[in-house]
Amino acid sequence: MILMEDIVREGHPSLRKVAEEVTFPIDANEKKLCTDLLEYLINSQNDDVCERYGLRPGIGLAAPQVNVSKRIFALHIEEEGKKPLSFVAINPKIVSHSVEKTYLTSGEGCLSVDRDVDGFVPRYARITVKAFNPDGIEFKMRLKGLPAIAFQHELDHLNGIMFYDHIDASAPYKNIPDATPFERD
């Protein structure tokens, strides 16, 4: 299983690389990576498992964060009153997006960043995405709210971009034009 010690932190070169496209069929190592990424997220959202293994909760995890420079990430998001969203995305793409933006009012964090970074991170409010699952089947979906924000955070990891790259350093809480704030409960 993936533990915090397996997650690379700020300053590690993997976090700044453009990750490689994956070719299908994926091999056994890649298959295991997919399972492990999603398993980490599920474990990290269980208080007992979290405490037992010293995990930091996360809703997404990208392969470069475990030092594998490939275009793979997992999302596992359970929001009250919404149906859970849980998938592995390989070679993911945003095919279209809204003009409207959004940002988490509480800001973003990252399992690869051991400090709080204040500020609004502008994201598209709605995105239509395409990706392949571990079986090589392409899927397409529309995302908004927290899933849309998290997908963009993870896709950034595959391109060597950190969430704070998007924060205006001189005015971290500056108004973001065309944005509707998103409040996380």
Residues that bind ligand SB7 (CB under 6 A): 58-62, 65, 104, 108-112, 149-150, 153-154, 157
| Closest to 132 measured CA to CA, from 12, 8, 25, 41 | 25
Structure tokens at 99: 């003009």
Could you tell me which residues are beta bridge partners of residue 90? Answer: 72, 132
Residue 31: exposure state from Cβ atoms within 10 A (0-12, 13-18, ≥19): middle
Looking at residue 114, the DSSP 8-state letter turns out to be -
Name which of residues 93 to 122 contact Ni ion (CB under 5 A).
110
Q: Under DSSP, is residue 155 helix (H, G, I), strand (E, B) or coil?
A: helix
The catalytic position among 21, 78, 108, 154 is 154
Least distance (Å) between residue 138 CB and Ni ion: 25
Question: Quick one: 73 or 96, whose CB is closer to Ni ion?
Answer: 73
Strand order through the sheet with 60-62 = 60-62, 72-77, 85-97, 126-132, 138-144
Distance CA 24, CA 162 (A): 28
Least distance (Å) between residue 25 CB and ligand SB7: 26
Question: Quick one: 132 or 164, whose CB is closer to ligand SB7?
Answer: 164
Least distance (Å) between residue 182 CB and Ni ion: 17
160 binds, among ligand SB7, Ni ion, none (CB under 5 to 8 A by kind): none
Question: Quick one: 49 or 137, whose CB is closer to ligand SB7?
Answer: 49
20 classed as catalytic: no
44 binds, among ligand SB7, Ni ion, none (CB under 5 to 8 A by kind): none
The tokens 């009153």 sit on which residue?
81
**Which residues lie near Ni ion (CB under 5 A)?**
110
Catalytic residues: 154
